[in-house]
Amino acid sequence: MSAVISMAGAGKAFDGRKVLANVSAEIGAAEFVSVLGPSGCGKSTLLRLIAGLEPFDDGGILFNGAVVQAPSPDMGFVFQTSNLLPWLNVRDNLLLGVDLDPAAKRPDVAALAELVETLGLTGFEDSHPHQLSGGMRHRVAIGQALARGPQVLLMDEPFGALDALTRDRLNMELLRIWQRDRKTVLLVTHSISEAVLLSDRVLVMSERPGTIIEDVRIDLPRPRDPSTTREDPAFGDYVVRLSKLMGVS
């Protein structure tokens, strides 16, 4: 496996308090990896270190073999709360990150139409955020990250605030995009079942200072689908195993 993201003994402290300690893991090309861990263990911080939004203190974090020192256009970031600007329509919101970054390549008309189609937003290009459902707004936020054509998608609890049905739908759309484009995805989630449903591997973190205590490979057949995959007894076994590791069963 050629590592796209490689962490070796990475650590981070804020105001002298250790948040992350000795984090080591490798994430390969086109892998879908989720991160689970107790609240406050440093999951968002870890994603921000990988994204180059925050410097790490100890160890190393490499992206395609180079030390991460600053954000890269090859990494797209989807935050917990979306970054949509209310006065811009869907099209302009999708292009926001590209337009703000002189190094980013603007998708042409055909590529933008394809992105809108992939996101299920065709016909809503001229709508403004207040005219969209919560799920649609989340899809625009994912689209903002995809518009730059990144190799890696870093997602920080992007579906946390959504109802179960919308969450299932967006999970399926995410899997479809991932399967089609073979992107590397690193997803922070609080949902054990979401992590099992989507991932090739689940990294389980300890209490703060967070470190990776388990790397669980999810050997469920693909393509996956919420209803059939959840009926697979192996799915339940993974959920039980991860719940035990998380101390919630």
Ligand X SMILES: Nc1ncnc2c1ncn2[C@@H]1O[C@H](COP(=O)(O)OP(=O)(O)OP(=O)(O)O)[C@@H](O)[C@H]1O
Positions in 39-78 near ligand X (CB under 6 A): 39-45
**Count of residues engaged in binding ligand X, rule: CB under 6 A:** 12
**Nearest approach, Cβ of 99 to ligand X (angstroms)?**
27
Counting contacts by CB under 6 A, is residue 90 touching ligand X? no
C-alpha span between 83 and 62 (Å, rounded):
27
Tracing tokens 């250790």 back to the chain, one arrives at 18
| Contact characters 199-228, ligand X, x per CB under 6 A | ---------x--------------------
Q: Counting contacts by CB under 6 A, is residue 19 touching ligand X?
A: yes
DSSP string of 79-102, one letter each residue: -SS----TTS-HHHHHTHHHHH-T
Contact between 247 and ligand X per CB under 6 A: no
Nearer to ligand X, 91 or 208 (CB): 208
How wide is the angle at C-alpha 198 spanned by C-alphas 218 and 79, nearest 5°?
A: 130
Measured between alpha carbons, how far is 120 from 189 in angstroms, rounded to an integer? 23
- What strands lie across the sheet with 66-67, from one edge to the other? 17-28, 3-14, 58-63, 66-67
Q: Taking CB under 6 A as the rule, does residue 248 contact ligand X?
A: no
> In angstroms, what is the minimal distance from the CB of 7 to ligand X?
15
Task: Report the interface residues with ligand X, using CB under 6 A.
Answer: 14-15, 19, 37, 39-45, 208
